[in-house]
Structure 1
Amino acid sequence: MGIWNGSAGPLQAVARNLVGTLAGKGHAHTPGGAVSRGGLRERTQLATLLVELWSQTVLARIGGRAVPLGYVPVPVPERLLIAPQDLRTGDATVASEIYSGRFAFAGKVMALDGRTVFELVPPSVEWAEALHGFGWLRHLKAANTTIARANARALVGDFIRDPGKAKAVAARPDVAARRIISWLTQATFLLQDADHDFYRRFMRSLAKQVRQLRRMASDAPDGYPRLIAVVALVFAGLCMSDQPRLLKAAQKRLAEELDRQILPDGGPLTRNPGMLIELLLDLLPLRQAFTARNQQAPAALMNAVDRMMPMLRFFRHGDGAFAHFHGMGHTAADQLATILAFDDARGAPVANAPYSGYQRLDARSLMLIADTGPPPPAVASWEAHASCLAFEFSSARQRIVINCGVPEVHREMWRQVARSTAAHSTAVIADTSSCRFLQGGSMTRIFGAPIVAGPKHVEVQRGTRNNALLLRASHDGYAEAFNLLHQRSWRLALEGNRLDGEDIFKPVEESGALPAETFAIRFHLHPSVTVERLDDPHTALLSLPNGEAWAFAAPHLPLVVEESVDLAASGGPRRTSQLVLTGEVARTPRVIWTFVRTREAQSVPPVRPGRG
């Protein structure tokens, strides 16, 4: 939600709330009323967050532009010059459901029962986002029938007359941007055989929505929502006739956002791998749209795409799924395959992504991806997780160790759990996350739930020794609360049959003492992994669907197998298991653990057809 709309009222309200927060309202104090060091740090983060949000908005509105984007005129176009390609696939069976009056979005199904779909009370915010984003038009286009086309026009006409019960959701910059892109990409389908009245209403509504979006783009939450808003405006400038000033201003703004949000190694500012997929599904058609208009695409757009493509391979496991970090959910295999078809280089993924804060180790069929960075800047941390030093581990096409990820639907229900350190394969101190999130009160209605405190310094070292790849990293996310640093090392054998790990807890000051707090080192397992306990209390046997077997051992601590959940599983959350090592920091400051392959994958002979 934006905090600045051209008047001082909203900003003043935020300032008053912040003053109350800085005065100590709702935060822990030390005896005698003195503010604790951790509390002071958190309040400083909040103040910095407000200043960054305010300055970003002001700069976006007035910074270096002859006519700011929010004031560029958008006349009603006489015609559409091009209709961009939609890389997201359509399903004709969904078109049949829509025609019969059943709208299934975000795990919820609603029937019309004589009403328009926009008159329905949405069962969830996610359902309303999907409805008002109009991405479902691609399914009607996939049917490619006269009935489907008439149905699509009728539904678009219903929205133009009255957006209905979810006007607030429909007006959000990210939802409005998705709707504009959907209308433009499906314009040929919608307008074929359309009468003049619908054509003019469509053009007037499109122009009106673009005007509204160009005023709201600067208020969109940082990260993907702001980027997609600007992308939609560039699409509008390219596709709609009579928009040279809009195209020029939106191009400049897009270049600024891409340079800021796509880091030098190709990762996103938000640190969410899924943002790469979503953004490339629109940037690739945008690049083609410039060619279709016989215009040169901005250098920032070309460079951003070139940087992002290798990172797609960086985050992929052998089965094609992306690693679950910082808001990544289920990987849509068809969408990823479509994007990778545009990758001409098809090279091996990079191993070191220091700007994005990730490291990757590959040894034959084994692959490990680790989060070795601090959380993203507060203004872009709305969906970020407390996952520093968490990792995922796979063998060929079999994922073994994962993080819980986030579900495709009902995200609000799982949000707090999914973002916690305990939902990741790393060490947790005293059941406390390594990051603190803004929670509760009027502040969260404005800021959402960004990270307001967490690791500041993450040190990383890589190397090769004794026929193994080595990776060591440490973070200070627990320094304020518990006066300790967490250091983790991984050693991946080049033979591709063993992963050794070590977790060390060290006091911040060399002469300091470690606290008498408990720790839990968690290894969340993929749902396809079967766990068998052995007589040895320190060991477990892991069986994979391909017949491969692995032994997990931690010689100094008893091993416990607990329930877990794969939130990002296809079809919704799935129950799974986790291996847990617990102890007391002061008594066991060093923990070693090992994954060793004990049986190779079994080759299954091909089935021969029977003779009849």
Structure 2
Amino acid sequence: MNDAPRPHGFVKRPEPRSLGSATRGQQMIEGVLPLTGGVVEGDPFRGAGAEDVDAAELHGFGWLDDLAAVGSARARDLAQSRVLGWIAAHRRVPEISHDVVWRADVTGRRVLRWLFHAGQIMPGLDRDGAQPLFDSLHAQLGYLERADIPAGLPRIEALGGRAIAAMRLKGAEDRVAPALDALAADMEPSIRKGVLRSRCPEALLSCLSLLGWVKATAAETGHALPQPVTETIEDIAPILRALRHADGGMPRYHGGGRGPSGRLDHSLRAASRGGEIAPGHPMGFARLARSRATVVLDAAAPPAGPAAAQAHASTLGLEFTSARHPMVVNCGSGRLFGPAWSRASRATACHSTLCLSGLSSAKLLPPDGQGHERLTLLPQRVWAGRCDIEGNLMPADTPPPPPREPDTILAGHDAWLGTHGLTHLRELYLSPDGDELRGDDTLAALDEDAQETLGRVLDAAPNGIGYDIRFQLHPDVEALHDGDAVRLMLPGNEEWYFSHDLTAELRLEPSGYLEAGLPEPLASTQIVLSHRLTAPAVQIGWTFMRAGAS
């Protein structure tokens, strides 16, 4: 370590804040570390496959959560060995480094996991044996104090790790106030102007989790939490409640996943105003909820500017969850599964919505100066809202109807207005008992100018314009043809049926499900309704209905 020995010990012994998968933890004990997009055999920092996995995930030590979920003596021995081995290999903490290992957000994650799981790392170590851990934690705290970090989730990860380390470590008492002040000053640029604009629900969940951990640590160690941090927690919680699926997971949009199991409900406890739900369309998503069912619809254009680095062409894409079982999803983010999956997963065809053949609702541009691929926003307008009894669109902040009435939404976008003269309209109906989700997808040229544009396109394509309506199914859902319908079998012997109005051709196609922590994409199935537009307008109706529902 390039710094002098640091004080030994904690102001107050930290407790685990996050647990992972006991299944993955057991795999580690058996010699295999599963990470997103691959596995590492043996020593994760020198083992087979270590060069092929994401370095940020590996060196962020989030996988200690999985070993903690096992909780056995072998798991504790392995956690201790891996952390001390990493410290021995990284004795010199750089002044500033652009290596992924020393990226500030990765360092913040690593520091947090070492603190959270100190009870796994330290057993059996005497004072001299544990001193390298404290030396490294103090040195990494110093690194976080001088690192330059872009606004957004990475900055919250770095500043959150810095604040918690300063509050926990003996000898860092004079560093607590500057750390908390730095975090408080970042609420506006990183969360309100960064994460919220990214339209990634999981990123917002990560922010709430971090701020909740900071709040709990401040309470345990006797430090006052700055008001901006408290206010931000209270602002985020209603948004996440509004986006929560029936199974407790997050909608998987714009580069995010569903979040660790149970993380959302646990994180929401940090807010004092329990039960409050944000009105309107928070983060640009509309939600239908009835009984045990939830539907989340992407009801806004993809994010623009710096927030567009992980944006997907998912406008009007839906997710549908029945009780504990996600049914209709989108493919997820392929960012950590290689370039081919990264690009493909951002296309409209990897989401549960309508797509013109070979043409997404937003266009992926070449990388910018920082190597980030961007989306150009083809939709000029996106709209969504509940409808009155005559089918008229009501304001986005209109309160939901009473629980005994169906929940409905009408949405649309004009992504293909300029190229084809076409507008996509999607109307959804969720029954009061949550046993029926019905939809109508309309593709139409709505005015004379649009019809003129469409006429020119059809003159050049006498067989019409091909389009598909896709419903990506969760890999736990088994789909079988049943005449003109599809029988859907969910875990726990729950059965649903998908039917349509026979306007389009129905088929089942293979697909893939991408989620952080999976070594490779999971095989899944998609329902596809295919048709060709030859007139100014066409409408296709479809229904998901629970077996036995009337």
Which TM bucket (shorter chain)?
Answer: 0.7 to 0.9
More divergent stretch after superposition (454-463 vs 194-203): 194-203
Q: Give the corresponding residue for 2:402.
A: none
Q: Give the corresponding residue for 2:85.
A: 155
SS at match of 2:410: strand
Maintained 8 Å contact 2:93/2:139: no
C-alpha displacement of 1:359: 0.6
Maintained 8 Å contact 2:286/2:299: yes
SS at match of 1:562: strand
C-alpha displacement of 1:379: 0.9
Maintained 8 Å contact 1:402/1:526: yes
Maintained 8 Å contact 1:392/1:402: yes
Deviations 1:79-119 (A, max 9, x none): 5434544321267897787678654544413224xxxx544
Maintained 8 Å contact 2:112/2:161: yes
Maintained 8 Å contact 2:153/2:195: no
Q: Give the corresponding residue for 2:145.
A: 214
Mapped to 1, the partners of 2:290 and 2:73 lie a distance apart of 47
Q: Residue 78 in 1 paired to residue 7 in 2? A: yes
Mapped to 2, the partners of 1:574 and 1:353 lie a distance apart of 34
SS at match of 1:381: helix
Amino acid at match of 1:425: S
Mapped to 2, the partners of 1:520 and 1:260 lie a distance apart of 40
Q: Residue 531 in 1 paired to residue 462 in 2? A: no
Amino acid at match of 1:176: T
Aligned counterpart in structure 1 of residue 432 of structure 2, from 491, 494, 497:
494
Change (3 A) 1:196 1:587: same
Using the aligned pairs only, state the percent identity.
Answer: 25
Amino acid at match of 1:520: D
Q: Residue 540 in 1 paired to residue 540 in 2? A: no
SS at match of 1:333: coil
Q: Give the corresponding residue for 2:423.
A: 485
Q: Residue 258 in 1 paired to residue 191 in 2? A: no
Mapped to 1, the partners of 2:53 and 2:329 lie a distance apart of 26
C-alpha displacement of 1:232: 1.7
Mapped to 2, the partners of 1:513 and 1:555 lie a distance apart of 28
Q: How many residues align?
A: 513
C-alpha displacement of 1:284: 1.8
Q: Give the corresponding residue for 1:3.
A: none
Q: Residue 380 in 1 paired to residue 307 in 2? A: yes
Mapped to 2, the partners of 1:108 and 1:143 lie a distance apart of 22
Mapped to 2, the partners of 1:365 and 1:565 lie a distance apart of 26
Amino acid at match of 1:216: A
Mapped to 2, the partners of 1:315 and 1:474 lie a distance apart of 20
Mapped to 1, the partners of 2:548 and 2:230 lie a distance apart of 44
Q: Give the corresponding residue for 1:6.
A: none
Maintained 8 Å contact 1:118/1:163: no
Change (3 A) 1:126 1:315: farther
Maintained 8 Å contact 2:335/2:342: no
Q: Residue 462 in 1 paired to residue 410 in 2? A: no
Q: Give the corresponding residue for 2:538.
A: 590
| RMSD of aligned residue pairs (Cα, Å) | 4.0
C-alpha displacement of 1:334: 4.2
Mapped to 1, the partners of 2:42 and 2:385 lie a distance apart of 56
Mapped to 2, the partners of 1:482 and 1:238 lie a distance apart of 59
Change (3 A) 1:93 1:161: farther
SS at match of 2:387: strand
The 5 Å alignment of 1:127-276 reads: 127-137=54-64, 142-143=71-72, 147=77, 151=81, 154-161=84-91, 168-187=99-118, 190=121, 194=125, 201-218=132-149, 220=150, 222-241=151-170, 243=172, 246-263=175-192, 268-276=196-204
Maintained 8 Å contact 1:87/1:335: no
Mapped to 1, the partners of 2:23 and 2:313 lie a distance apart of 40
Change (3 A) 1:185 1:393: closer
Change (3 A) 1:470 1:148: closer
Structure 2 unaligned regions, length at least 5: 391-404, 459-464
More divergent stretch after superposition (175-184 vs 103-112): 103-112
Mapped to 2, the partners of 1:492 and 1:138 lie a distance apart of 38
Aligned counterpart in structure 1 of residue 365 of structure 2, from 426, 438, 446:
438
Change (3 A) 1:390 1:162: same
Amino acid at match of 1:530: A
Amino acid at match of 1:258: M
Q: Give the corresponding residue for 2:213.
A: 285
Change (3 A) 1:95 1:177: same
Maintained 8 Å contact 1:459/1:473: yes
Q: Give the corresponding residue for 1:513.
A: 453
Mapped to 2, the partners of 1:139 and 1:598 lie a distance apart of 35
Mapped to 2, the partners of 1:153 and 1:253 lie a distance apart of 28
Mapped to 1, the partners of 2:24 and 2:294 lie a distance apart of 37
Amino acid at match of 1:513: T
Maintained 8 Å contact 2:251/2:258: no
Mapped to 2, the partners of 1:215 and 1:525 lie a distance apart of 46
With normalisation by structure 2, the TM-score equals: 0.79
Maintained 8 Å contact 2:215/2:270: no
Amino acid at match of 2:91: R
Deviations 1:106-153 (A, max 9, x none): 4413224xxxx5445753554533332233445666346885686356
Mapped to 1, the partners of 2:236 and 2:133 lie a distance apart of 35
More divergent stretch after superposition (194-203 vs 546-555): 194-203
Maintained 8 Å contact 2:290/2:430: yes
Mapped to 2, the partners of 1:419 and 1:240 lie a distance apart of 42
Amino acid at match of 2:453: A
With normalisation by structure 1, the TM-score equals: 0.71
Q: Residue 347 in 1 paired to residue 292 in 2? A: no
Maintained 8 Å contact 2:247/2:325: yes
Maintained 8 Å contact 1:398/1:544: no
Maintained 8 Å contact 1:86/1:285: no
Change (3 A) 1:540 1:278: same
Mapped to 2, the partners of 1:299 and 1:586 lie a distance apart of 59
Maintained 8 Å contact 2:422/2:444: yes
Amino acid at match of 2:412: S
C-alpha displacement of 1:291: 1.2
